[in-house]
Structures are given as structure tokens and as C-alpha cells.
Chain A
Amino acid sequence: MDNDDYRALIDILKGQLRAAGAGEIADDRHYLFPDPNDGEPRLMEPLKQLTQMLAAFERKLAMEDRQTFERALGRMNEVLRGERINGAEYIPARDGDREPRPIDLARAADLTQVREGVQHLIGRLQEIPLPPRRLG
């Protein structure tokens, strides 16, 4: 694959991220770096931007994954004295005089397979020989 292929894949990934409500990750400003010659911001090489955007998506998944809930609960219960923690709830803001309905965080989806899939794809992309750099 060459840089045009990677740019096309970035566009596809951005579309998917926006459709999934993760448009923030698609924003190019996260993938800028200062040019060492003039200090002006420049976009990363397309392959690097593509893999970093996928890595950011994997971090988003980690923050929504039931495994994160279970690991956190397990770590705390392992060291606590006395009573164990049974679970965790989110209490939405009160709406008028209605009591908010607590949300059980254990109902988060198990995203293990999706996360593994993203990591696998990043690994595969990084195995591909880089396209030749344009000189001059």
C-alpha cells in the first residue's frame, strides 16, 4: 500500500468513527506535530496517523468495556478489609421531581473481541513495508 491507500483508509475510518459517535477521535488536530524546520504544524505520515487513530479508538473501547468494570472491581475487592463492593452504579441528574433511575455499570458490553480486532489490525498495518519517502 502507498500513502494514497492509507489516506483513503483514514477517510473510511473517520466516517466510521463519526457514525459511531466518536467523531472527536477523527479530528486531524490530534495527529499534528511541529515541523522541526519551521515549527509549523504538520500532519503525521498517513500510516502513522491511521494506526494512531485506531489506537485512540481502542482506548475509547477500553473505557466502555465490561472487562474494565470487572478488573476494577476485582482489584479493589482484593485489598479491602471487611465488606466487599458488590457493584457500581451511575446516578443521572435529577429531572424535576423525579428520582433518577440508577444505571448498573455492569451492563456495559464485553468489548474484548472488538479490542483484540483493533489491536490485530494495527499490528498487521505496522508489518507492511513503508512506502518510499519522497526525497528533495
Chain B
Amino acid sequence: MDRDEAESQIIALFEQYTKVTPADEALLTALSDGKLYEMYVLSELVTNLTRRGCRLTFHGSSLKFKAGPGKIKISDPHFTVQTPAGLHLWLYVDIEFETLGQVKIGSTDLSSRHELDIVIVSPCGDYPSYTDIWLGVECKSTANFGKHLIKEVLGVRREMTLLDQSQPSLLSQAGLSPIVGIPSNPPSEFWLAFIDPAGQNYTRSPAAFGIELRLVEP
């Protein structure tokens, strides 16, 4: 291959891409917001929970991914997760939770809630408290992984748990296997899902806070 051939191929690939790209602005917004990636990560979680011994049921007709996060509404499409111990949990997407700081201080400004892309919570009303969360997932749909993503999830994780001695995660205590140890309280599990393999170079320090970095490639 020479330079002219490579140049022609690059230009042809982008022409092909432009030709098939949908014209609908709203659809393009959804795709650039990473909603398809979020859906793929959701399928990874559903598969993972099944492998770990859960039974999942979907309530609704179609999945709904929102432009902005909101509260738990039983009428919104969601899953119920039955654990091996027989507990029933809820799995929702695009939910805000009440932060640890808010519960401690009682403040009600814009810092009192943070978003999680995917959550498993014990049945609760409106906005789950950080104590209701059994597992949270942040999906990072950026083609290039950067350290700023780690900083973001460290902040969210800080509002979910306090560092503590390692103990089985809430899901492990409900019979899921293998047992996952979490060095914080409450021992919720937390995934940072990403698509760029470069993210695998950032796993160790976040693990000290119970953050699991997961390469999820569609």
C-alpha cells in the first residue's frame, strides 16, 4: 500500500459513513449521547447477573433511555432481579440517587443528587438513597479513554459509600456467585464500563474504592 492508496481508502470510508448516517438530528443526538452503548452495557449486566444466578424479568414493552436522569417510576420500563436468596430488586436506567453528603448534611441544593446510567436498587420511591443501591454502572462512550473519566467516577463513588474493611458485596450476600469483595460501606458494586482498551491501564487505584473497570466492546 502506498500513500495515494491509503488516502483514497480513508476518503472512501468517510464518504461511505456520511452516506449511511441518518439525517434525523434527534437520532444523531441519541447516538452521540452514547445511548446505544448504554444499551449494550445493559445487556452485559443482564447477562452477568444471569450467570451469577439471578432471574430477570422485564416490565414494559420497549426500553426507554432518557436525555436526562430522573426518578424511579414503577410505570417506566424496568427489570426485576430475583436473587438466588429470593430477594426482588429493581433494575432501572438513567436514575438520580440521593447522595451520601446530602443525607449527612441534609442540604437540598443541586449537589444533593447524582446520576447513574444503570442501577440495581432495593424497592424504593422516587429518588433512591445511596443506601438503596446494590450496583451502579457508569457507561463512558468515549472513543478515547482519558484520566478525567476516572476522576468523574471517583466523585460519584464517594457519594455512594465510605471506605471500610473489605466485605462481600450486597449482591454476594444475596447469594450471587462468585463472591465479590467490596472495601466500602454500604458494599454496593460499581462498574465503570468503557470501550477503549486503554482504560485497562487505570484499574488499580479505583479498585481500592470498590470501582471495577470493565472493558465492554460491542
Chain A contact residues, CB within 8 Å of chain B:
1, 5, 8-9, 12-13, 16, 19-22, 24-25, 27, 30, 56-57, 59-65, 67-69, 71-73, 75-76, 79-93, 100-103, 105, 107-111, 113-114, 117-118, 121, 124-125, 127-128
Contact = CB atoms under 8 A, between A and B. Distances in A.
Interface stretch (B32-40, B108-116, B168-176): B32-40
Considering residues A22, A24, A92, A101, which has the most beta carbons from chain B within 10 angstroms of its beta carbon?
A92
Nearest to A69: B36
A19 B144 CA distance: 18
Contacts, number: 194
A39 to B, nearest CB: 15
A108 B36 contact: yes
Nearest to A9: B6
Given A16-B11, A59-B196, A113-B16, A105 B47 contact: no
Given A9-B7, A25-B143, A87-B63, A103 B24 contact: yes
Given A8-B3, A80-B46, A85-B63, A63 B218 contact: yes
A64 B34 CA distance: 8
Given A1-B3, A16-B11, A105-B35, A62 B27 contact: no
A63 B34 contact: yes
Contacts of A91: 64-67
